[in-house]
A and B are shown apart, each in its own frame.
Chain A
Amino acid sequence: MTGVWALVGALAVAGALAVLLKVREGRISRRTTPSADLPAPVRELLTPGVTLVQLSTTFCAPCRHAKVLLRDLADRTEGLTHAELDVTNLPDVTTRLGIMRTPTTLALASDGTEILRVGGVPKRDSLLDALRPHLP
């Protein structure tokens, strides 16, 4: 009988996680990380405009979808550049940036100040709306 309850519990947990992750997917959070705290491998990717730095790992299935979306967005938007950083073997970078999952995308100003970050595959329109005040 406990097996039935274990199954019901597992199904409930799966359902709750699915809803939670769906809600969090592509959510934009704003924070102002000082540019001095930016790890060197991320700083090297900065461009004169806004840079979308996508942090990925080898084991991340949705990173490919995020890359396609962000690359296309950058290609069509003036002043916006996309760069991908594989952090599979860079745990210090993710720890310093406080990143728990991939893909996570950082929008960085030319001086390295963090404008916003997106967890999961971004939603194109809401990301563009959030970036618009920082674009030429």
Chain B
Amino acid sequence: MPQDLPVDPRGPRFSAWMTTVILAVVLLTGWWRLLAAQTVLFAMCAFISLKLNPWGHVYRFAIQPRLAPTTEREEAAPLRFAQGVGFVFALVGTLGYATGLTTLGQVATGLALVAALLNAAVGLCLGCEMYLLLRRYAPANARPQ
């Protein structure tokens, strides 16, 4: 898995706001193809590189130049882990909507939205906070190394 360099922490916050909007649209419309696209985006960021996140590029080119510079940096590993958690919820949500299990789709999408909104609004990474719990109850062969 390629390593990402530490990033300006305001970039992931912007990305989390965009994810929140997308997930809210999915909940309101039930448009599962949009959720499927978000699932692919989560997967690319979690398993390949954060550089593949288009919201990161929007932030760098359209927003960052308008903000005061910062020396603060955030490590990539927690961000990628959070994207992985988002991927799981979004995948379950997509499968739920696509197979007619709408309630499952709504619950999974709602949980992903909660995590994205907490990240965007207060900078809290719910998946990272729950890492120890997830690890404790994850099957041995599914634990991150």
Contacts and interface: CB of A to CB of B under 8 A. Distances in A.
B77 A58 contact: yes
A interface: dominant SS? helix
Contacts of B136: 91, 94-95
B74 A61 contact: yes
A4 B28 contact: yes
Contacts of B29: 3
Please classify how large the interface on chain B is, using the bins under 10, 10 to 19, 20 to 34, 35 or more. Answer: 35 or more
A3 B30 contact: yes
Interface in A7-22: 7, 9-11, 13-14, 17-18, 21-22
Nearest to B120: A14
Interface of B: 24, 27-30, 74-75, 77-79, 81-82, 102-103, 106-107, 109-111, 113-114, 117-118, 121-133, 135-136, 144-145
7 contacts: A9-B110, A14-B117, A57-B128, A59-B127, A59-B131, A60-B131, A102-B129
